[in-house]
Amino acid sequence: MCDCGPSYSARRRHDGAFLDRLARGLARAMDHALDADDLARRDGLLQRLDPRVKLAGLLTLIVVAVFVKSLAVLGSLFLVAVALALPSQVSLPRLAKQVWLKVFAFTVLIALPAVFLVPGTVVARLPVLLWPVTLQGLRSAAFLLGRAETAATFALLLILCTPWPHVLKALRVFRAPIVLVAILGMTHRYIFVLLESAAQMFASRRSRMVGPLSPRDRRRVATATAGVLLDKALLLSTDVQLAMAARGYRGEVRLIDDFHATPVDWLALAGFAAVASAALWLQA
Amino acid sequence: MTPAFEVVDVHYAYQDAPALQGLTLTIEQGQRVALLGANGSGKSTLLQLLDGLQFADRGAVSAFGEVLSEARLQDDETAFAFRRRVGLVFQNPDVQLFCPTVFDELAFGPLQLGWSKDEILARVDATLAEFSIAPLKHRPPHRLSGGEKKRVALASVLILNPEVLLLDEPTAGLDPQSASELIDYLVKCQGSGRTVITATHDLDIVEDIADRCFVLQSGRLAAAGAASEILDDAALCRSAHIAHAHYHRHGDSVDHHHHHRHTGEASPVAGKASRGSA
């Protein structure tokens, strides 16, 4: 028996794991999207609001969170975000997993040097290295972290509590170009078709795998799949163009919405405006 | 009455692969027609030519007495008038459902034709109710089953109430219940004055949805006639690859075929399956 490499069965398992990983990655992407879609259609506080009101209100709060200059006000805005999440069926563990931990890990890396580099009152020193930790440095880092966490929480609430097509259509309130909205909408639509197609291709490849794949072959499978998918996407785009033409499309994009703002929506808009104004007034 | 479509000596090729070769046929207004043929026989291409999405390399396709040409359909007014009269339901609903939600899908056609917002909203609601898909109104297409997708695709075309409905393999990939609901709708079209042209190789449904059949083979017209005449011609059906060797009819039954074995034979062929009534 050759002992120059892993056994056949070990390589076979490895190849299977490689294809499994790809298939699982695609399935995870689908699951995430479908899960978010489900949440957006549940009956919750934010879900019940007109998408235009949600977009305007939450974007305003994001802007205020970015510009606010008081840590206490920033903390209050963060609490507002949490207070909006709970009645909207967005759980704290979900927020922690999807936003807080990721933003924390990323922002701390950026904010860390400021703790030592910003000159000011030294409140402590790093053990061994004896680098000074300044009050002003801690403040800068806290602002960066607080702004990032608060803004990301509001943004996630908007995405999780509003079906993506409605978010896009609501962007028209802010005069987003109609072509951009239509293209993003179609991209969102066909990502699912292509994801499904890719998942099926990997499943089919896996079902016919009777021998181990070398690293080169594994790369070949991945790139070949990407190539075939691109080809399918091109064919699909041609057919979609014909389907659009068949229903009267003449090159000019037109959109319609059936959004209906109710008194509750106007009240919610006033609420968003009141929170934003209060935050700006308090920090001033 | 002017025919709905006249196809005269039409040739069409995809690069070097001929799809239609000297095809000539006429479809009268109000007629329910089935285009029969195996995969690659040119059915889908013919539907796209009839819908003015592709244009013949040679020969002519006329709709309502006017030749369909690329130049003619460049004119917005002519194109809109034509789209208003002729609707095509594609075989793959994922191709047809390109909008983010069912509501947008149904509103797409009317929006392109310049209907007012109130008119569109009212018509969308009426169509959703007519096709029993109101609960799907805000659903994105990727959250629909195959049968629901087909129904939405059909509704997205019929919202314009076209005079001619072109259907490409309408029952392909559908479960029996969904297929039956779709066929029921097409049966209802009988006597409505609407011209319905269905491309299919599903012989089970032909007599329900069509009065006249055209059999295509390699882009040529192999036969034309009443649905019952065509279906009775087992040799023709076999030569056109739309029925297999076991296909035959008993009296007035729609179609019937057996997979069977003869007692004593060793071959473990499947027991027996039959479609339609004997």
Chain B contact set for A240 (CB, 8 A): 95, 98
Rounded CA separation A167/A158 (Å): 8
DSSP codes, A144-211: HHHHHHHHHHHHHHHHHTS-HHHHHHHGGGGT--HHHHHHHHHHHHHHHHHHHHHHHHHHHHHHT--S
The pLDDT score that the predictor gives to residue A181 is 85
The sign one gets for the Cα dihedral A130, A135, A137, A138 is positive
Q: What are the beta bridge partners of residue B210?
A: none
Chain B contact set for A244 (CB, 8 A): 98, 108
The nearest alpha carbon in chain B to A168 belongs to B100
The pLDDT mean for chain B works out to: 85
Q: Looking at the predicted structure, is the pLDDT value of residue A164 above 90?
A: no
Q: CB–CB of B90 and A168 under 8 A?
A: no
Chain B contact set for A256 (CB, 8 A): 104, 107, 111, 117, 120-121
Chain A contact set for B45 (CB, 8 A): none
The nearest alpha carbon in chain B to A232 belongs to B95
The pLDDT score that the predictor gives to residue B15 is 83
Map residue A45 onto helix, strand or coil. coil
What value does the mean pLDDT take over residues A94-108? 92
What value does the mean pLDDT take over residues B245-273? 50
Q: Which distant-in-sequence residues (6+ apart) come within 8 Å of A72 by Cβ? A: A282
Which of A197, A236, A256 is the mutation pick for testing B, counting most B CBs within 10 A? A256
Which residues of B, range 140-179, sit inside 8 Å of A by Cβ?
Answer: 140-143, 156-157, 160
Residue B122: band (very low, low, confident or very high) from pLDDT cuts 50, 70, 90: very high
Per-residue model confidence as pLDDT tens digits over A244-261: 999 888 877 788 887 888
- Kindly state the helix (H) or strand (E) to which residue B135 belongs, with its residue range: none
Is the Cβ of B188 closer than 8 Å to some Cβ of chain A?
Answer: no
Per-residue model confidence as pLDDT tens digits over B193-233: 889 999 988 888 888 889 899 999 999 999 999 988 888 88
- Contact between residue B276 and residue B204 where contact means Cβ atoms under 8 Å apart: yes
In terms of average pLDDT, the best of A54-63, A166-175, B145-154 is: A54-63
For A246, the closest of B53, B142, B143 (CB atoms) is: B53
- Contact between residue B195 and residue B31 where contact means Cβ atoms under 8 Å apart: yes
**Looking at CA atoms only, how far is residue A31 from chain B in angstroms?**
12
Q: Looking at the predicted structure, is the pLDDT value of residue A24 above 70?
A: yes
Chain B contact set for A42 (CB, 8 A): none
Is the Cβ of B109 closer than 8 Å to some Cβ of chain A?
Answer: yes
For A247, the closest of B94, B112, B124 (CB atoms) is: B112
Q: Number of CB pairs < 8 Å for A and B?
A: 92
**Looking at CA atoms only, how far is residue A254 from chain B in angstroms?**
6
- What string of H, E and C letters represents the secondary structure of B7-33? EEEEEEEECCEEEEEEEEEEECCCCEE
Per-residue model confidence as pLDDT tens digits over B129-173: 988 899 999 888 888 988 899 999 999 999 999 999 999 998 887
Q: Count CB neighbours of B242 within 10 A.
A: 25
- Contact between residue B133 and residue B148 where contact means Cβ atoms under 8 Å apart: yes
Is the Cβ of B262 closer than 8 Å to some Cβ of chain A?
Answer: no
The pLDDT score that the predictor gives to residue B260 is 53
Is the Cβ of B93 closer than 8 Å to some Cβ of chain A?
Answer: no
**Looking at CA atoms only, how far is residue B26 from chain A in angstroms?**
22
- Kindly state the helix (H) or strand (E) to which residue B217 belongs, with its residue range: strand B212-217
Q: Which distant-in-sequence residues (6+ apart) come within 8 Å of B26 by Cβ? A: B3, B5, B6, B7
B175-184, B185-194, B248-257: least confidently modelled range = B248-257
Is the Cβ of B100 closer than 8 Å to some Cβ of chain A?
Answer: yes
In terms of average pLDDT, the best of A23-37, A78-92, B195-209 is: A78-92
ipTM for the predicted complex comes to 0.81
pTM over cut 0.90:
no
Phi, psi of B17 (to 5 degrees): -95, 110
Residue with tokens 């785009």: A237
- Give which of B22, B44, B33 is closest to B95, Cα–Cα: B44
Residue with tokens 């951009």: A180
**Looking at CA atoms only, how far is residue A265 from chain B in angstroms?**
19
Rounded CA separation A201/A275 (Å): 50
Chain B contact set for A189 (CB, 8 A): 97-100, 140-142
Chain B contact set for A196 (CB, 8 A): 142
Per-residue model confidence as pLDDT tens digits over A190-199: 888 888 888 8
Residue with tokens 């079906």: A163
Instruction: Determine what percent of chain B is predicted with pLDDT higher than 90.
Output: 49
For A165, the closest of B94, B101, B120 (CB atoms) is: B101
Number of H-type helices and E-type strands within chain A: 10, 2
